[in-house]
Structure 1
Amino acid sequence: MLRIRPHHVLCMRAYSGNGYSEEFKAKMKNIINEIKAYNKFLQVDNLKKEMNEVELVFHTDSICEKCPNKLDENLCSSQDKVKLLDLKVAKHFNLKEGFYNYSELEDLVYNNITEDIFDDICKECEWYGVTNCKDYIITK
């Protein structure tokens, strides 16, 4: 079963093929396809709302496995930053560690996200000014 950090729910939707390495990009693409996380760039959409269970965790997850910032099993070189991202996502959408149907997890986040919430969570992220994450996450 895949483990997913809270802030990666946002990253998977906004993912547009960029990444730290070819291994990381392949891992991200495979996870998005496996759980059918909505992603416009990769043309993934779970219209049938299939039951793809994931474990929401507040430490390194399945996506982190191929990230060069991963130092140890539950340690990242930007630990404080990613922990804050996770805590903000959890607070805004009332998420707890545990098991979720990924479609339901997406609904909890994307039925309640606003531009202000997005900015609060993501404005300090290194990808914020590099990609157009907001365009993929905030629907008008």
Structure 2
Amino acid sequence: MTIRLRGHHLLCLLGYRGMGYSDDFCVNMTAIYEKLRVEPETEVEIITGPDDVCKAYPPDKAYHCEGTVYGLDADVLAKLGLRAGERGSWQSICDRVAKVMVPEDISHLCTTCPWEKYGVCAEGVGLLAEGKSLPKVGA
């Protein structure tokens, strides 16, 4: 099973701790996060636009999966040296994050993200940089 992810979701997943836009969104995001956490050799395809995380975005919220987030996607991919269309294991993406990023990069890349203020994505980058695993959701 290949999980399709857009650029900025590569970082969102590092900081996912169970918070989200709706119950359905959290169920979907937790399933993706735990699959990648438990099976890091899972193949990830980097795509442009709405991905497997976006498919559970609540219909009653302002839809942001198109538009302004494309710039963030591009910035994250540039930082990681990745391109849309590439495929690789989740572990290879985590290894790349650990090699090229520091926690402070989140505050520079993700300035418009409402989740940035919680510090969880920076924490996730820090865990990888220290060679540690991401935590189980709810742990």
TM-score range, shorter chain: 0.7 to 0.9
Q: Secondary structure at the match of 1:79?
A: coil
Residue 112 (structure 1) aligns with: 100
The 8 Å contact of residues 24 and 58 in structure 2, kept in 1 or not, is answered as: no
Residue 10 (structure 2) aligns with: 9
Residue 77 (structure 2) aligns with: 90
Q: Secondary structure at the match of 2:116?
A: coil
Match of 1:54 among 44, 49, 69: 44
The 8 Å contact of residues 92 and 117 in structure 1, kept in 2 or not, is answered as: no
1:62 is aligned with what amino acid? D
The 8 Å contact of residues 85 and 122 in structure 1, kept in 2 or not, is answered as: yes
Instruction: Name the one with the larger helix percent.
Output: 2
Give the TM-score taking structure 1 as reference length. 0.77
Residue 87 (structure 2) aligns with: 99
Residue 40 (structure 1) aligns with: none
The 8 Å contact of residues 46 and 83 in structure 2, kept in 1 or not, is answered as: yes
Give the ranges of 4+ consecutive aligned residues of structure 1 lying more than 3 Å apart after TM superposition: none
1:137 is aligned with what amino acid? V
- Consecutive unaligned residues in structure 1, runs of 5 or more: 37-43
Residue 58 (structure 2) aligns with: 68
Aligned residues: 124
CA drift at 1:115: 3.9
Q: Secondary structure at the match of 2:106?
A: helix
The 8 Å contact of residues 44 and 88 in structure 2, kept in 1 or not, is answered as: yes
Task: Kindly report the root-mean-square deviation, in angstroms, between the aligned alpha carbons of the 2 structures.
Answer: 2.3
The 8 Å contact of residues 90 and 96 in structure 1, kept in 2 or not, is answered as: yes
CA drift at 1:124: 1.6
Match of 1:124 among 112, 118, 125: 112
1:137 and 2:138 aligned? no
In structure 1, how many angstroms separate the alpha carbons of the residues matched to 2:23 and 2:73? 25
Q: Deviations over 1:24-83 (max 9, x none)?
A: 0000000111222xxxxxxx5x6xxx5211111121110111012699xxxx53533311
Give the TM-score taking structure 2 as reference length. 0.77
1:102 is aligned with what amino acid? W
